[in-house]
Amino acid sequence: MDHLVLTVIAPDQPGLVERIAQVVAGHGGNWLESRMSRMAGQFAGILRVAVPAEAHDELVESLQELKAFDIRVLVAHSGIEPSCNWKPIHLDLVGNDRPGIMRDISRQLADLGVNVERLTTEVLPAPMSSEPLFHAEALLALPLTLSLDTLQCKLESLADDLMVELVLRPED
């Protein structure tokens, strides 16, 4: 079996996921895992599928033909999973929103050798003041040599109002 990672984006519409699933199943493929979401009228997702090697090219061709339905699919081969030289950490971060906040956070993480495994962000009004608050939740892969205290201090140094909670997460 070949393992593929598909990135999908299309205007949100009923039956979108079913159309993709039909193409995958129609080529003997198995839908292994996915993350999908609707945002601002668009639907985006990433999924991993396994397909028999002999059906690989036909599946890729059929996925590209979804353009006729305004569904764009980018296909990549599965990469090698990283080694176990890291520890999984759950990050919960809240601070006043400002332009560049995600750039600053991601730069700090990259400088420390932290890998972002999963990330969700949003800006919501603060309960009392209605000022915009930036909120991020993430699953991070920390190098074994990086302490939680060091990571927390580095992130909190980005802004006086940034509150960072880190929790060592048992491996799933």
Q: What percent of the chain has pLDDT over 70?
A: 94
Residue 47 contacts residue 34 (beta carbons within 8 Å) = yes
Residue 36 contacts residue 18 (beta carbons within 8 Å) = no
Under CATH, which architecture does the 2-77 domain have? 2-Layer Sandwich (3.30)
What is residue 84's predicted lDDT score, i.e. its pLDDT? Answer: 66
Residue 169 contacts residue 117 (beta carbons within 8 Å) = no
| DSSP element (H, E) containing 99 | none
Task: Look at residue 171 and tell me whether its pLDDT is greater than 80.
Answer: no
List residues bridging with 135 in a β-sheet.
94, 122
Question: Residue 91 has what DSSP assignment?
Answer: E
Please tell me the pTM assigned to this model: 0.78
Under CATH, which architecture does the 86-168 domain have? 2-Layer Sandwich (3.30)
Task: Look at residue 169 and tell me whether its pLDDT is greater than 60.
Answer: yes
Pick 168 or 118 by higher pLDDT: 118
What is the average pLDDT across 108-123? 94
Question: Residue 69 has what DSSP assignment?
Answer: G
Domain(s) of CATH 3.30.70.260: residues in the chain = 2-77, 86-168
Closest CA to 7 of 41, 40, 37, 51: 37
Task: Look at residue 170 and tell me whether its pLDDT is greater than 90.
Answer: no
